[in-house]
Amino acid sequence: MKRNSQTLSQDLLQWFYENKRQMPWRETNDPYKIWLSEVMLQQTQVATVINYYNRFIERFPTIESLAKTPIDEVRKYWEGLGYYSRIKNFYEAVQTVHKDFNGQVPNDPKQFLNLKGVGPYTQGAVMSIAFNHPLPAVDGNVYRVYSRLDNDAFDIASAKARLHFEEKVLEDMPEAAGDFNEALMELGAVICTPKKPLCMLCPVQQHCESFEVGNVLERPVKLKKIKKRVEHYDVYLIENDGELLIERRPDGLLASMFQFPMFDTETHISNVESQLDMSLTLFNEPLMTLKHQFTHLTWHLTVYIAHTNDKKKASQHWMSREEKSQLTFPTSMNKIYERYLSSL
């Protein structure tokens, strides 16, 4: 079966216009808001993103309003959304747009691609949806749709997968490039799903080779396995005059967010005291244990409460309960803090 690009795009777009889900970023032509939505939607479900998006746009409705706000306040509006490098990169890119492009998202695809954190997918999505540039936006949904349409066994974990599937999208792309990209993603999200595809409701079923031969659930093919690293830490809730000791995370994972002091589980309490430069009275029984998953990493956290009477040092940051709402913590640390409050 050789798909007909014109009829496939017509069938898909007609279905999309009649059935597309209502989302706040589909009600605007503002490239800044479309860009924000695409950043938020990376690795995150639509239902989760909507509330974050609305709250973020209410506080930062323009490039200028975001660019002029300190990063710590901006992070607070991302707290709980995860993958925090996204907001760091987006914030830096917005600073560049504000400074070098007079606060206007560049409509030149090459200039947009050069911004911090913008890769081929984000470039294709934003440039096509906001400016209708005929660029593909290939994500997991699109891999799956085209793997099934063409009964294509190309390994989607391969480094060459993006270019392979971008060529397929470009073959079928109509004049309404942005709508077509959105329609492909919508099809993958609500019809051509990974485990229980709704093939009988699919608007492009007649174009689908995998449906014809009956191997829909065997596509796409992903050969490479991701091995997760496992790390074990002790977390210390150290009390002093009703306040808790906190620290900023270094560059890398969850960079610049706040956390309670964390040490490898092999670190003896005497070394903890030495590194923190204080004496501790430690409850031997842990407050809680917590398992937290990242994409390529799992944290196993054991949480202890400790007291210190040592005089507070200028280099240390002690947090009151009132200050907690003003600071940005990873989800794992927020769960720990909630458990701590419930224990008081």
Per-residue burial over 225-249, b = 16 or more CB atoms within 10 Å of its CB, e = otherwise: eeeeeeeebbbbbbbbeeebbbeeb
The answer, yes or no, to whether residue 2 has pLDDT greater than 80, is no
Domains recognised in the chain with CATH numbers:
5-218 (1.10.340.30), 229-343 (3.90.79.10)
> pLDDT tens digit string along 28-78?
999 999 999 999 999 899 999 999 999 999 999 999 999 999 999 999 999
The residue ranking higher by pLDDT, 311 or 195, is: 195
- Average confidence (pLDDT) over 76-96: 95
pTM of the model: 0.83
Pick from 148, 165, 71: nearest CA to 116: 71
Would you state the pLDDT for residue 313?
A: 84
Closest CA to 135 of 107, 105, 109, 111: 109
What pLDDT is stored for residue 226 in this prediction? 66
CB 234 within 8 A of CB 276: no
Does residue 341 carry a pLDDT above 70?
yes
Residue-wise pLDDT for 265-304, tens only, equals: 999 999 999 999 999 998 879 999 999 999 889 999 999 9
**pLDDT at position 1 over 70:** no
Secondary structure class of 92 (helix, strand, coil): helix
The model's confidence at residue 125, banded by pLDDT at 50, 70 and 90, is very high
pLDDT band at 227 (very low <50, low <70, confident <90, very high): confident
For the purposes of burial, counting CB atoms within 10 Å of the CB of 335, is it exposed (0-12), middle (13-18) or buried (19 or more)?
middle
Catalytic residues: 38
Q: What is the mean pLDDT of the chain?
A: 95
pLDDT, position 85: 93
CB 91 within 8 A of CB 118: no
- As a whole number of angstroms, the distance between CA 198 and CA 152 comes to 19
pLDDT digits (tens, 9 = 90+) for 156-184: 999 999 999 999 999 999 999 999 999 99
